Structure 1
């Protein structure tokens, strides 16, 4: 299995991972052969990346850190929670806790976690899918930092609901991908306060979730929002969620921005050490991120193009590459692999989308 830009999809490609709607409903199932109409529909939905199975990558395994069932339940729970907020309906936090504990269980079950899967997001499920990913990343950081189960649950709940305040914002603002105007930025930033106001009234949820929603855009140097808090005035759990949110927004399309590739995002995150987030937090986080995700296509310094088929977790910048084609002729060549830890003179020039 490998990931590919929707713009490069061809009729007959076989979908390698199921694509879900905002409610957790299956839009297209794994194994579906894509037609022109399916591909056009994916573009209309705003999905930019999909996974396909083909001869060159059929033995490449890209594992999610949580089950499809846990992810689908979390997305569905978020959708119902958001709808209840919109119509002013009281909603028990039981389902949120259940969804959160399923994700925590999936992650605690695994010994070594290395994030290599990129989400397939549409316009309608971007906020929910983003929130689930931020929850997953936050739990991974929390686990690595040795947080106890109770604190992990508070962290995960706040992470899953960190953007709940966006339900109070106009839908056209949330769908915008161009850079926000100053007025739009000011409006968007109110989602942290809305989130706090929504969550602080939920007696069956840990009050920390409200403070995480309020503080997840605050930065160590005091340049964040909404209150420009700095240093030890920031809650540690909010910093964890903030970093997870920051990275996930870099590598995925979202309100007011377009995505960049993971290795560029990792460079930006490293540059934020002791400015936006503590160095310890960033070092811990990056130990669990694939700089070049398994299944992505890359161009090598040799001029060859290949896919990342495996990771060297001790040195994420140097994965294992299977050559697919000549960059000049773009014709299939006999498959060969480079282990970049061993092939020291070969390096990745860029990702190809």
Structure 2
């Protein structure tokens, strides 16, 4: 949230399935400066963990990733701990995920992030094996890519499986989506593997910034990991929403399917996909759809048939329009140099066949957080 010229991070909680929300205020102990990039995960006991970047505006800009835990579903928070320290540099774009194991400790927290402005720039992962009380020192996942590796996302499955995906540029100037996986609770990782390649994520949007990163999700029951990305081709003017799937960590290295085109258009630009896998192995993808005719944005939701095997391309139903009113992204927060629509949005699948997309929307004339509860048909 913007507080004058400063930025802080605030929490909101719902106790009725997302129908109503209560403001919890700024995270305890946080003084707005240049904070952001929140990421949230719940463990099997219902405890919530909230991470964000706590940074100074500089120059030079530097910041750490801090984490708060709530044991009462957001009514109160424990004091923060430092999950990844940036030192003289900046930790950016954290992604928190939680996995379980068959022997103590039963809960593992994994935090992927980018570190920049240090001697060891690049994508890193840090792990907690004590319920988030402490985090082990972070480890580099792709040292060869260094600072060219950006926008990491992490997804944990059962039995120690963990996947981290991120972007790097190719020698030809395209954008590569690369992934590393672990099958032993983050003790070891495979070598980075390219799972998709696109010419660009999106065209230039003038004075609007809506950066698109990769999205990643893992099935709670195992056997399915999905990555989604948007791609834009200047030569054809076409925007695509792409999906690739994997069975998860295998020896000696996982395999990923060829990217499937979920949607393609020369009238709409797709931005900021989000992924969730429901308990019946249906894949849900939410995405911004920017009309090149009206310059307004809608949120679309794509839902697949139940996925039987990771090697079979999923079939998707026609998209559901989630937004009841398209909005103008040029009414997003004016930072002085651009109208900022953010780096990513959110999507969760909950029991009871309900999907919860959450997004930044300007239909009221200013940037606000919107959400919806979308009931999906049973398989």
Same fold? TM cut 0.5 = no
- Higher share in helix: 1
Question: Whose Rg is larger?
Answer: 1
TM-score, normalised to structure 2, is 0.27
Write 1 or 2 for the structure with the bigger share of strand: 2
Does 1 or 2 have the higher relative contact order (CA < 8 Å, sep 6+)? 1
